[in-house]
Amino acid sequence: MSQPSIRGAITALITPFRDGEVDEEAFIRLLERQIAAGIHGVVPVGTTGESATLTHDEHRRVVELCVKTCAGRIRVVAGAGSNSTREAIELVRHAKTVGADAALVVTPYYNRPSQEGLYQHYAAINEAVQMPVLVYNVPGRTSVDISNATLARLSRLPNIVGIKDATGNMGRIAGQRLECGGDWILLSGDDMSAHGYMAYGGHGCITVTSNVAPEAVAKFYDACMTGDWKTALYWQDRLARLSEALFLDASPAPTKFALAHLGLCEEAARLPIAPCAEAVKPAILAAMKDAGVV
């Protein structure tokens, strides 16, 4: 069986701002840092990229800029989710048009669709656009949880190729491996449980931590993918406090604080995400030191 083309450490990129607008120079700088560190892929305008508060023009521009900057050096999985199926189709279609390798489509939030509604949402995207699509399951944010049974149905559609699973539930992986087939791409969406996810048969992670510590995260996944679990555990332990610290306040505020501390971008987020709370900044800095970033 061949290895999936989308695998390893895939960074859920932040979207930097300056004076209320997308800071394109900082975005390119952050992206080049990721590539130089050995990261295997990136997700522009996922939820960590504050997609919910970007305009459609900003969203499209960030995806275009990402594809152009990467220039085929690493995989680009464009964030393209919406709680409107029609809008999600438009975003996936745009991602294909500008040359992204795949699209990441979050389960519709707020609507709380049934399992049949979830199936029909992704089936409509599959029908409309000939492009690899990853399902993003994050019930803690969307209030809906897509079941393994629904994923098994979706896996039979040609363009629905895998999942970003942010539930932290290791028990789901075996079921998906059995029900969705050997070509189904299994990506974690939870840095803290990534070592276990990989050991259970995962192919990689769409990671927030790699925004701040890309080289260490890349080494962790390189070790996992070669079965060097002792080395992987070393890196997982070294990164654990940072992975936890980046969620001590509403994401991505802590990540933006960390990157601003490194001089890579401004700390600014877009409301309703407030700047990182002063009370948690010492813990973030201590965790960055643990990870070898500062």
Contact of 170 with 138, CB cutoff 8 Å = no
State the catalytic residue, choosing from 96, 122, 164, 219. 164
Other Cβ atoms less than 10 A from the Cβ of 234: the count is: 15
Assessment of whether the complete model's pTM goes beyond 0.85 = yes
State the catalytic residue, choosing from 136, 197, 219, 256. 136
Q: How far apart are CA 59 and CA 56, in angstroms?
A: 5
Residue-wise pLDDT tens digits, 19-63: 999 999 999 999 999 999 999 999 999 999 999 999 999 999 999
Bridge partners (DSSP) of residue 151 are none
Is 47 strand, coil or helix? helix
The DSSP output letter for 6 is S
From the list 34, 97, 45, the residue with the least C-alpha distance to 69 is 34
- Structural domains in the chain, CATH included, are 8-229 (3.20.20.70)
Residue-wise pLDDT tens digits, 172-213: 999 999 999 989 999 999 999 999 999 999 999 999 999 999
The DSSP output letter for 202 is -
Provide the pLDDT for residue 2.
44
Is residue 109 part of the annotated active site? The answer reads no
Residues 6+ apart with CB under 8 A from 142: 106, 107, 108, 109, 110
Provide the pLDDT for residue 1.
37
Provide the pLDDT for residue 4.
60
Is residue 136 part of the annotated active site? The answer reads yes
